[in-house]
Amino acid sequence: NAGVMQNPRHLVRRRGQEARLRCSPMKGHSHVYWYRQLPEEGLKFMVYLQKENIIDESGMPKERFSAEFPKEGPSILRIQQVVRGDSAAYFCASSPPGVAVSSYEQYFGPGTRLTVT
Amino acid sequence: AQSVTQLGSHVSVSEGALVLLRCNYSSSVPPYLFWYVQYPNQGLQLLLKYTSAATLVKGINGFEAEFKKSETSFHLTKPSAHMSDAAEYFCALYGAGNQFYFGTGTSLTVIP
């Protein structure tokens, strides 16, 4: 049973380019979460999605960032016109449907390390 | 406000010695608390979680943590460190707002 998969593992973009990060949740999981980890900092929540729905995007920057989780295919985190401050590790996590809050659990992917030059 | 503070960004212990990683939290509602471990170039793996049942929680790899409401703490311990325990450890809180809040992490080094 494969875990959460993210690709690419490393991504280098020049300032102004677009970055697309992909996340395939664990089999049977329909909830996806994106986090950003800046150097020397903890993970910061960005967005929570279910299939075809954005549930909570309160952690997403208002501009240039978007996320989707289509009915078919992986979840995509898209960063337009990247700037140096976007350099970070981006982690995706997934959880199964119907999980009770009392047993809340997320399974993390290995992350995508974005470097903006 | 919800937050997690991990005291000590780097901890070194000798192999076989006690491991103690500190975590304090702030939450306006009863929190759920978690410890995750991250090995180099890998994602986070859940070690253990507290979800308002027993205050002493046992996890994988011999780790355990105790929830102390009076001290707003959830420190992670292991009686005897092993070389394979060297990794980054994150404390996290799930509270108001249905979000996870992570600490800044503690890097554990085990000295042979």
Tell me if B102 and A42 make a contact (CB, 8 A cut-off). Answer: yes
Task: Compute φ and ψ for A24, nearest 5 degrees.
Answer: -105, 115
Best CA proximity match to B103, nearest among B20, B18, B19, B26: B26
Contact, A33 vs A93, CB < 8 A? yes
Q: Which residues lie across from B56 on neighbouring strands?
A: B66
Integer Cα distance of B39 and A110 in angstroms: 10
Asked if pLDDT for residue B98 goes beyond 80, the answer is no
Least confident of A40-44, B76-80, B84-88, B107-111: A40-44
CA angle B90, B33, B83 (to 5 degrees): 35
Tell me if B100 and A106 make a contact (CB, 8 A cut-off). Answer: yes
User: Which of B32, B102, B106 to mutate: most A Cβ within 10 Å?
Assistant: B102
Asked if pLDDT for residue A102 goes beyond 50, the answer is no
Mean pLDDT of chain B: 91
Q: Which of B49 and A106 is assigned the larger pLDDT?
A: B49
Kindly report, residue by residue over B103-112, the tens digit of the pLDDT: 999 999 999 9
Other beta carbons within 10 Å of B108? 21
Integer Cα distance of B107 and A103 in angstroms: 27
**pLDDT band at residue A1 using 50, 70 and 90 as cut-offs:** low
CA distance B108 to chain A (A): 14
Q: Which residues of B touch A44 (CB under 8 A)?
A: 102
Tell me if B4 and A42 make a contact (CB, 8 A cut-off). Answer: yes
Q: Which residues lie across from B96 on neighbouring strands?
A: none
